[in-house]
Structure 1
Amino acid sequence: MISSGTALGQFNDSINHYIYIGSTGSFSKTNDLASYVLSNNFKFAISKKKLSFNTVNSWVYGEQSDVKSNNDFSSLIEFDFLKKQKRLYYWGNGTFDKSYSLKIDFRYQAGAGLGLNISQTPNLVLNVTEGLIYETGSMIDKDLGERDYDVWRNSARFKYRWVMKDMIILDGFVLYQPSISTRHDTIFKTSTTLSIKVRKWLSLSSALTYNEITLTDRRNLIVTYGVIMERFF
């Protein structure tokens, strides 16, 4: 999985911390085939007047007819500076990924850039970020086989969160990371979660995530459903 998710909880002046635990999955069984996917996510965020901190960790595991299809781990640490005070703000992050389905042995990213708040209301959050990241890792190239590599990438991301009547929440992001020096080396990911609150801290959810890496010629599409527990404090 490409790490780029973010805790999109809406803070106010009295709420400085946010915690999110989500467990979703899907299962299918016929006479000839059985398959399942489990997705577990943990997010934690701290928001101060000028600086905010956000960490996102996810693990996806799946099997199809007793053959492993997914064993993907992703971790993100992200910082935002002046995001609550200015429309134009600064960001920096570091990530680690390991993915069986995308043929990534390991991958590290670190970078920084600028972000723009398009909307920052309790019911609608829209922002875009643009920056430069350095990436190093080991993966199975579609032409060269397993190899170590390093590359500089442009990183563009659009994030959104829409709250309807304090009950239905639609949030997600679109990430595009092309290599600066190499053609046909692009990372693309999009993720959308629809959740319906049944309690203040508990929601039913359905999520769709799509990943594509041109360097390994691999992609995955995961649709899951389950529960989300979150709390502001």
Structure 2
Amino acid sequence: MLRRLALVGLCLTGWPARAQLNESDTTRLQVRAALTGNYQKGNVEVSTVRGKLDVVLSPDRVSPDQVWVFKSQNASLYQAFYGVKADNDLFSRNYLYYRPGRRVYPFAIAYLSTNYRRKIDLRYFAGAGGTGQLIRRPGHTLKLAAGAVYESTRFTAATFNETRYDGSETIGVWRVTTWLGGWHSLWDGHLRLYYDAYYQPALSDTRNYRWQYDVGVDFPVWKGLSFNALYTYTHENVVVQRIRPDDRILTVGLAYALRKVHRR
């Protein structure tokens, strides 16, 4: 007999979806905290805990035309199968935007992550770029961004599917990043669709690249409470030997909308 206990936490969010924490909004503070999980015991033993904390903050307390806006997106994932750890990951994405209310605006970026499954002990990169708002009307947003970053990754192994990197546990490269993301309110707000995708090739090696896309939906339920689902697909072309380059994950949960607006 298979018994399953689903653990789903409430989400506190500036908008009810991760991709809808928008630095171009005129709110002073947006916050989203989420906790989802799964526990199975019997024929299959699985335990999963996934948490997120996203924040968008503008220090400007007077005018909604923000000059500087800070965004931080943080996630953790833990999974175990039959008591054997499969994932124990942290991921922190941090941005500093200048006048994001404009059609085109610059940003600085800093990422920090670990990935147990991919044998990544520590990865960080930092750089800068610009964002263009292709569509920005009520209920519909579409943005395109591009930039350059320097990345350093320390692995727990020194043999890779691309042999040119063998012999060292650390790989450092310059990368170009392109990103596309959008979110849309449909059916008079009864469904919200959001998505984003990025591509990161290394400047020094055409075979060293990665890409990822997310697609999610929100179904508002009652007074800011909504059900949401998010599907993520990632591909990393340079990996440690015997590690697969592709990963897929689907998460579901509840969200609660909360935001603090500017006061004149």
TM, length-normalised to structure 2: 0.78
Q: Choose the corresponding residue for 2:98, options 75, 81, 103.
A: 81
- How far off is 1:36 after superposition? 4.0
> How many residues are paired up?
226
- Aligned match for 1:154, one of 176, 196, 221: 176
Q: CA deviation at 1:202?
A: 2.5
Find the partner of 2:30 among 10, 13, 18: 18
Change (3 A) 1:27 1:182: same
RMSD of aligned alpha carbons: 2.2
- The within-5 A match list for 1:98-113 is 98-113=114-129
Tell me, in whole angstroms, the C-alpha distance in 1 between the residues paired with 2:235 and 2:213: 9
Q: What CA distance in whole angstroms lies between the structure 1 residues aligned with 2:236 and 2:35?
A: 25
State how far apart, in whole Å, the 2-side matches of 1:115 and 1:127 are: 7
Q: Which has the larger radius of gyration?
A: 2
Match of 1:8 in 2: 20
| Paired position in structure 2 for 1:59 | 76
Contact 2:215-2:230 within 8 A present in 1 as well: yes
Q: Distance in 1 between matches of 2:42 and 2:247?
A: 22
Deviations 1:145-191 (A, max 9, x none): 66112110000000111112223222231011010001211121111
Amino acid at match of 2:55: F
CA distance in 1: counterparts of 2:19 and 2:56, whole angstroms: 7
Provide the C-alpha distance between the structure 2 equivalents of 1:226 and 1:6, rounded to a whole number of angstroms. Answer: 12
TM-score by length of 1: 0.87
More displaced 10-residue stretch of structure 1: 99-108 or 210-219: 210-219
Please tell me the residue identity of whatever aligns with 2:147.
G
Q: Greater share of strand residues, 1 or 2?
A: 1
The aligned amino acid for 1:195 is D
1:34 equivalent in structure 2: 45
CA distance change for structure 1 residues 219 and 12 in 2, over 3 Å: closer, same or farther?
A: closer
Q: For structure 1, which runs of at least 5 residues remain unmatched after alignment?
A: none
Give the percent of matched residue pairs that are identical in Structure 1 and Structure 2. 22
Q: How does 1:208-219 map onto structure 2 within 5 Å?
A: 208-216=231-239, 217-219=244-246
> In the aligned structure 2, how far is the partner of 1:195 from the partner of 1:27?
24
| Paired position in structure 1 for 2:146 | 130
CA contact (8 A) 2:25 2:101 kept: no
For structure 2, which runs of at least 5 residues remain unmatched after alignment? Answer: 1-16, 61-65
- CA deviation digits over 1:207-231, x for unaligned, max 9? 1112221111532111111122331
Match of 1:201, as an amino acid? G
